[in-house]
Amino acid sequence: MGMIMADAVRNSTTYFWGQRTSTIDWCEENYVVSHYIAEFWNSITNGVFVALAFLGMYTTAKHRQGWRVFACYAALMFVGCGSACFHATLKYTTQLLDELPMLYLCALVLYALIEIDKNTKYGAAVPLALIAFQATITCIYVFWIQNPIFHQVAFALTAFGGVGFGLKRLREMQLSARTWRILSRLHLLGHVGMWGGFLAWNIDNIFCHRLRSYRSHVGAPLDVFFQLHGWWHVLTAYGSTYLLLWVHFIRLARLGHDHLFTIKYALGFLPYVAMDTPKKVE
């Protein structure tokens, strides 16, 4: 796969961050755009995570919608920052900053859906169980099975648990037609982003050498269209955000506040939960 395990041509100790120590080297050629950033496009595309997460944190705090939802957006920002550091340096320590926060984000989402009411129901039992599970996965990954596939399987299991629990919550509630439309659209867009990103990720992995040839042929700036791992970041940033907005809106519905809120777009392309402004009647 395109997770280049030994890109010896561009793994020199003379580069800014020195020799690569990560177990993965992605398809983007190292230190081509900048002397200071190993994988330039793979690094800066994580800014989409940061922008979307910051907007979610801001609006959650503004409307005082609970620390659990705020923590989910904060974890999404941590994912983007960790991924940017990893692709900028290609070091094993920053690789862990990229991969492990994804697991913790999913665990926080699962917790927010389990403890969806204003007051917690299970006390310390749920967070302690989730912390123990994530700590076990972390230790296994860091000290024993240092294989990206193990991380991917653990991430998928946690993510599916969150989606499944979210659907369970939906079945428990009587929702208005308007809220159903909003939630259905968020869920659809979330999956389009995630699966679209997964497709780009796999194409980048499988056809890496061909993509490198295309990039060499077209040159800058058109070569950015063939940086598919970067596009994976953009698509999954949107997919993750839409799914977090889905969780956010489920909680609003659970608390009976969904009729007061809607989904709006900052700058026309950054989605967030906002107060619904009633339309004027002429």
What DSSP string runs through 236-259?
A: HHHHHHHHHHHHHHHHHHHTT-GG
The token pair at 113 is 């859906």
Residue 202 belongs to some domain of the structure: yes
Mean pLDDT over the full length of the chain: 89
pLDDT at residue number 11: 58
Model confidence pLDDT, tens digit, residues 226-241 = 999 999 999 999 999 9
State pLDDT tens for residues 241-281.
999 999 999 999 999 999 999 999 999 999 999 988 755 43
Contact 55/70 with Cβ under 8 angstroms?
no
| Residue 16 lies inside a defined structural domain of this protein | no
Q: Which residues are annotated as a binding site?
A: 25-26, 28, 30, 39, 87, 229, 233
Q: Is residue 183 part of a domain?
A: yes
Residue 241 lies in a domain: yes
Q: Please give the tally of structural domains in the chain.
A: 1
The confidence score (pLDDT) of residue 1 equals: 40
How far apart, in whole angstroms, are the C-alpha atoms of residue 90 and residue 68?
Answer: 32
Dihedral, CA of residue 113, residue 114, residue 118 and residue 121, to nearest 10? 180
Tell me if 27 sits within 8 A of 241, measured CB to CB. no
Q: Per the annotation, where are the binding residues for Zn(2+)?
A: 87, 229, 233
Q: What is the pLDDT of residues 163-196, one digit of tens each?
A: 888 888 888 888 999 999 999 999 999 999 999 9
Q: Is pLDDT at 151 greater than 90 in this prediction?
A: no
Specify binding-site residues for Ca(2+).
25-26, 28, 30, 39
**Separation between Cα atoms, residue 87 and residue 70, nearest integer Å:** 26
In a domain? residue 78: yes
Domain of residue 121, residue span: 33-275
Q: Assess if residue 11 is contained within a domain.
A: no
Q: What is the pLDDT of residue 263?
A: 96
Question: Would you state the pLDDT for residue 281?
Answer: 38
In a domain, 27, yes or no: no
C-alpha span between 219 and 123 (Å, rounded): 57
CA dihedral 57, 60, 63, 64 (to 10 degrees): -110
CATH number, domain containing residue 246: 1.20.1070
Q: What percent of the chain has pLDDT over 90?
A: 63
Parallel, antiparallel, or unpaired for β 261-266 and 270-275? antiparallel
Residue 125 maps to a domain:
yes
